[in-house]
Structure 1
Amino acid sequence: MTQDVAQDSTTFGDSTLRGYLDQLAAKVPAPGGGAVAALHAAQGAALVAMVARYTTRAKDAEVRPAIDRIIAAADAARERALELADADAAAFTAVGAAYKLPRDTDEQLEARNEAITAALLDAARVPATVVAAADEIVSLAAELLPIGNPNVVTDIGAAADCARAAAASSQLNIAINVASLGTGSAAEFEPVLTAIDELIARADALHGDVVAAIEK
């Protein structure tokens, strides 16, 4: 039986890969692009941790303190990203529920509007947090590149690509929710939306650095 990661208590971390993909392909409200963005970040963090763990040879003793710190940070980022995937599915479901609230009276309409605004804010805050996770992953990957095991250097580039995808997809998810908010509420997200382009540029540059390292 397919595990429904959006509709029951099964978390993304506990779901099978097939169960997740079946739900992603299904005609259900969640999971969607927001959860995908968070899982991109989780994969990027996992790749960083993997490369770092391959950099624990005797010859790596001099950089071992940095490697151990990167492993701990990447593992923590992976867990946070999985939690954000669950949070995104819950937030998207809450938005749908808010729009379905009754609006037959002025009181009901006011309560519905307040619920929609609150749900949209929550739905935009989750991908904004994913962007922060993606930023950390790019920073960890960039730090790892010059000291990481060169035999798995391509995985550093792959980690940067995952983080880039997480940020770019989150940009879309923030924008669609912000578009339905008032100017005052939307202002909260201007800094993160501005930072995304710079983050993407850093990820692209890191990808290029990895290509250059391969071609040496």
Structure 2
Amino acid sequence: MTQQATSPQLAPSFGSVPIEHYLSELAAKVPAPGGGAAAALNAAQAAALVAMVGRYTTRAKDADNRPVIDRIIEAADASRVRSLALADADAAAFTAVGAAYKLPKDTEDEVAERTAAINAALIEAARVPAAVIDEADEVLCLAAELLPIGNPNVVTDIGAAADAARAATLSSQLNIEINVGALPPAVGVEFAEVLLRIDEIAARADGLHGDVLRAVRG
């Protein structure tokens, strides 16, 4: 019987464990969680911060902007949920890559099956951070839309959201690049578009941080 790449039992979802447990696992000598999960959680934090600012912008004086604010809150909450799920997906994908590399390679058939399994696992391991970048991009759009109408008492949290989204994007870039680098060029080409967006997303995050800083300084 041919051995298949299987994922060992993973830790509980990041959404269900205390932060200290997550940090202990992150600091431990274990394959996952790692930088990919941290990137996804940065995106989740960015989304949460945007939603929080939105909820602080539901005063009577904000009535004219309430439909926009409600939409931003709903979108940010949804992004937070997706980003949190991506943290789990990243840990699973990384574990699957390790399992694929451990497959036997004693015969030509086994070598071919192992190569196919490795490539499939690497593609999934690159698709997860690509999805994280999409979430960070969306959160930045929401944050930029919220800044002019958000409650000025919590404006710094919009800046913090931009910084977290930037970190999520750049960390995800690293994880895409290392996985794509191990793939045949023809296979890795599907990630070219998302990689080309990195600089633009980072520049928007830096711009939003600067806008918040100027607002704070008056």
TM-score range, shorter chain: over 0.9
Q: Percent identity?
A: 68
Matches within 5 A, 1:69-80: 69-80=71-82
**Correspondence for 2:169 among 167, 171, 186:** 167
* CA distance in structure 2 between the partners assigned to 1:9 and 1:30 by the alignment: 9
Shift of 1:8: 3.6
Equivalent residue in structure 1 for 2:28, among 12, 22, 26: 26
Per-residue CA distance 1:129-166 (angstroms, 9 max, x = gap): 00000000100000000000000000000000000000
Q: Kindly provide the CA deviation profile for residues 64-88 of structure 1, in whole angstroms up to 9, marking residues without a partner as x.
A: 0000000000000000000000000
Question: What's the CA shift for 1:7?
Answer: 4.9
Unaligned runs of 5+ in 2: 1-7
Whichever residue aligns with residue 93 of structure 1, its letter is T
Amino acid at match of 1:195: R
User: Match for residue 192 of structure 1?
Assistant: 194
Distance 1:184 1:138 in 2: 31
SS in 1 for 2:190: helix
1:3 match: none
1:19-49 CA-partner distances (Å, limit 9, x unpaired): 1000000000000000000000000000000
Alignment partner for residue 202 of structure 1, among 185, 201, 204?
Answer: 204
User: TM-score when scaled to structure 2?
Assistant: 0.96
CA-atom RMSD in angstroms = 0.9
Q: How many residues align?
A: 211
Q: Aligned residue for 1:156?
A: 158
Q: Give the 3-state SS of the residue equivalent to 1:13 in structure 2.
A: helix
2:17 is the counterpart of 1:15:
yes
Runs of 4+ in 1 over 6 A off after TM superposition: none
- Residue 5 of structure 2 corresponds to which residue in structure 1? none
TM-score, reference length from structure 1: 0.96
Gaps of 5+ in 1: 1-5
